Structure 1
Amino acid sequence: MQERLRKHNTNHKGYTGKANDWCIVYFESYKTKTEAYSREREIKGKKSRVYIEKLLEQ
C-alpha cells in the first residue's frame, strides 16, 4: 500500500502524477494483489460519490 501511494505521489505522466498530495483515507486488506486490484476496480467502477462517502463513514 505504501509503495502504491509513493507511485501516486511521484511526478509522472498520467492523472495521478499531476498532484503530490495523495493520502490514504480508507483501505481494505486482501491476501493477494489480484484480489485487492479487483476490489479497487469494483469501487472505482461504481462512479458514485455517495457510495464512496458511505465507505469512508465505516
Structure 2
Amino acid sequence: MHHSTLNLDVFDFELPDDENEMASIATPDIGATLCFDHHDPEIVNRLGTRRLDG
C-alpha cells in the first residue's frame, strides 16, 4: 500500500461511547505536566547536563 494511502487511514477512527473516557478527554488542561516541569530552571539544567553514557 502506498504511504499516502496509509496516511489517510487516520480519518477512519471513532471516539468511544464510554462516558468516563469522553469526560477525561473533555477535562481542561491544568497547565502542569505529570512528568516534570520543563519551565523549571533546575530541571532544565539537570536535563541539559545529564550524561547518557554512564
TM-score range normalised by the length of the shorter chain: under 0.3
Q: TM-score, normalised by structure 2?
A: 0.23
Higher CA-based Rg: 2
Q: TM-score, normalised by structure 1?
A: 0.23
